[in-house]
Structures are given as C-alpha cells and as structure tokens.
Amino acid sequence: MRLKSMFLACTLVAAPAAAADLAESIKADYDRRLGAMFVDFHRNPELSFKENRTAKILAKALRAEGATVTEGVGGTGVVAVLRNGDGPTVLIRADMDGLPVEEKSGVPWPSKVRQVGVDGLEMPVMHACGHDVHIASLVGTARQLAAAKDRWRGTIVFIAQPAEERVGGAKAMLADGLYTRFPKPDYALGFHVNSGMRTGTVSGSDALMYSSADSVDLTIHGVGAHGAAPHTGKDPVYIGAQIVTALQSIVSREIGPLSPAVVTVGSFHAGTKHNIISDRADLQITVRANDEATRKQLLTAIDRIAKGIARAHGVAENRLPEVKVSEGTPTTSNTPALAQRVRAAWTRALPSGTVVQFAQESMGAEDFTYFVQPELGVPGFYFQVGGTPQAAFDAARAGGPPVPSHHSPLFRIDPEPSIRLGTEAMTVAVLDLLRPAGSASGN
C-alpha cells in the first residue's frame, strides 16, 4: 500500500530550550504532522504480528530523524538506534497492534479494516486500546530528541513492538536478539494512554503497575449422543456449565480476600444443532493476579476443578479436560528509584497538577514487563497518560453515557492532548536520564 508522502517527509523541529518551548514545539509538530499520522494509524489498524504497513511507516519516520533502523525484529518489530556520544542507553517502547473489534466509537476517522490474523480468521480490526496514540507519540518523541542533541548524551533505542495484545511481541523481540544485536538499555521506558484518566494528567507507580494475565484454553471431551437420549452420552455442555460455575469459587473461597484475582470465562463454544449432544466443548478463560503466588494458585485450581468435575460425571481418565495456557505475562512492576527520578523530573518540567497519584483501577496486563524482568538487570518505568476529557466524566456522572473502556467497540481517546502529553512526558524523562555530566537538573 502506498504511504502518503506527508508521513514520509522530514519536517524540521526546532530544538526546545525550556519546558514551555518543548510544549510549543510538540504542539507545532502535532498540528503539522502527528495529528494526521494518528488519524492514518487509527483508520488502518493491523492485528498482532500483521503490522506490516504500520511498521514501514514507523521505520521511515524514525530513519528521517537520523536513527539506524532495523525492521523485522521479532516478526514485524522495528528497532531504531539514535546515538549521540558517550552516555547511558535508554529504550523507549511503543506497541503497535490493533484488536479484532468492529469499531462503533462514532469518531470521524473510524476503521473499516478487516484482516486475516495469525489464527487464519478474518476479523474487523480497530485500535480499541490506544496503541495508535503510543506509536504517534513514539515518532513525536524521536523528533524532539533528535532536535535537542545539545541537551543529552548517550544512546536511545526506539522500538515499535508487535503483538502486545497477544502478549507475544516483547518475548519475540528479545528472542530475536533485542538485547544482543542492539545496545542493551540502562533504562527502559514506556507508557499507555488510559481512557479512565482525564486528559492533561500523567501517573506512574513506584511498584506494581499491571496485573499478570494468562489465557487458558480448556477443552472438554464428552460423548456425543441424540438430544432425546442424553443418558447414552456424556454432555460436554452440561459439564462445561458446571465448570464455569465452579471456577467462580476459586476467587471467592480459595484466594485470600486481600489478594486481587480474576477468573473470567470469555468464550464457550460447543455443538452444531438443537438435538445433538456434542462430543466437545471449548472454553477460553482469562486469569489475572497481582503476584506470582496467586497466579500459580489460580492456574492450579482451574486444572483441578475442570478435571474433578469431569471425573464426577464419569468421564474416562484418558478423556479428561485439556487445560493449556496459550498466552501469559507476569505482573508489570516499576523500579522504585527510576520511578521517583522520572516523577521528580516531571514535577519540575510539567505544569502544576499534571502529575497525579497512580491508582490501579482494573487488572489489565502488559507485556512490557518482559523487557525488565529481574534476570535481565534493566530498570524499568511504565506510566499512564490520561486520554478522556474531564467533560466526558462529568457527563457520565450526570447520567450521560459512560466512558467506554479499553477493548470496547465504543472506545475513543482524545488524540491531541494524549499524544502531546505522552510525547512531552517521555521527552522530559529521557532528557533527565541522559543529562550530560555537570549540567544542571531541570527541563
């Protein structure tokens, strides 16, 4: 697909000299290029490991800022290295995949895309989680930092990561040599736009940011029969219904009440016709926890309950349910010292009231955590940027429509304040971490 020349042109950005200049420079860049880039990304989302068009646009944009760019890392991932003398290395990550969701958000730039995913199924595709904000901001941050080389020393590694929604892209990039083929970072940074936060705010925790997430595929094997003669078979729908109900007892009766946990059955498929008892039922389950002990306890209990209920209904030992974790990611936790340092830099550089206290509002998950696992020795800081105007929250409280959640077909983000603040917050963080020795703190 031909890329619009407006996305490929290199437009000069004046190097910001102070905080106010940085904000103005980002606004000018948004008006000139980033806003249109966001709209293009939103209209043309791509599924996990299928982000070919998106990757090409990002690779071209990052090359235009003087970075050495490598494509196809971990599938469709892009790695861009920008060097500026001796100093630390900072990694900036943005995820770029969309979701198999049909857009009903009402924005003037909706996605009408359909795409065949890695599972072979053709689905409607939507940026229903804000990754279009992340990648537009990645380009904006690269442009600001490339124009401000007099203010930092070291190396910046920009990565456009595939398949965050399948929690596989980070692992794939690491397996493809992200930390051996390219400079290993001294710090890793990333952010997520949050529809549950008002625009103009940014927050990040000293510790836990996101829960663990595991996708569990549960296959129940029954014995097919006529619907009028259920006694001659083993009904996997009935067995599955009991399993679904029993799974809810894990959180309510096995997990301590002060340990957050979620077990949600999101999909239950079986059978082909009214009067046929199927010989198989397939369940898809998402499992969330805030610590590894609880995570293990949840997964162990799912396996025990599924097989125990099948046994109770006379299913043979060699046909007990199959329980498989197809995707999974640990909790995402920030490095305390790094989190405190970045927040201090924000407090100095951003307008009063911008930096707000972090509060975990749901048990969402992130595969950014793979870049900062303890055994890798890379400190990490992942933060949130508000994406919904205060007026939308006020309207919801007054009885108007609720603010849509992430992954909803109604999901929408106010792009300009989200991209501008995401870019500014990230730029401020990197300038602080790569501040030349002997220079004064502050942005």
The reply to whether 441 falls in a domain is no
Answer with the one of 329, 347, 366 that is the final residue of a domain: 329
What local confidence, expressed as pLDDT, does residue 437 receive?
79
Q: In this predicted structure, what is the pLDDT of residue 43? A: 98
Residues 96 and 244 in one domain: no
Low-confidence ranges of the chain (pLDDT < 50): 1-12, 15, 17
Instruction: Give CA–CA dist 423/417, Å, rounded.
Output: 10
Say yes or no: 367 and 397 in one domain: yes
Is there a contact between 36 and 105 (Cβ–Cβ < 8 Å)? Answer: no
- From 329, 346, 364, give the residue that closes a domain: 329
Asked if 167 and 240 sit in the same domain, the reply is: no
Q: Are residues 294 and 419 in the same domain?
A: no
What pLDDT was estimated at residue 20? 75
Q: Are residues 293 and 418 in the same domain?
A: no
Do residues 36 and 180 both lie within one domain? yes
Q: Is residue 305 part of a domain?
A: yes
* 443 located within any domain: no
C-alpha span between 190 and 358 (Å, rounded): 15
Residues 55 and 180 in one domain: yes
The whole-number pLDDT of residue 441 equals: 62
Number of domains in the chain: 2
Could you tell me if residue 249 is left (phi over 0), alpha (psi between -120 and 50 degrees) or otherwise beta?
alpha
Where helices occur in 124-279 by DSSP H, the ranges are 131-147, 169-175, 236-253
Q: Which domain holds residue 425?
A: 5-211+331-433
The verdict on 75 and 169 lying in the same domain is yes
What is the pTM (predicted TM-score) of this model?
Answer: 0.90
- Domain CATH for 89: 3.40.630.10
Instruction: Return the active site residues.
Output: 97, 164
* Same domain, residue pair 286 and 354: no
Q: Are residues 68 and 177 in the same domain?
A: yes
Contacting residues for 241 by C-beta, under 8 A, at least 6 apart = none
- pLDDT at position 79, please? 98
Predicted confidence at residue 442, as pLDDT, reads 56
Domain end, chosen from 286, 304, 329, is at: 329
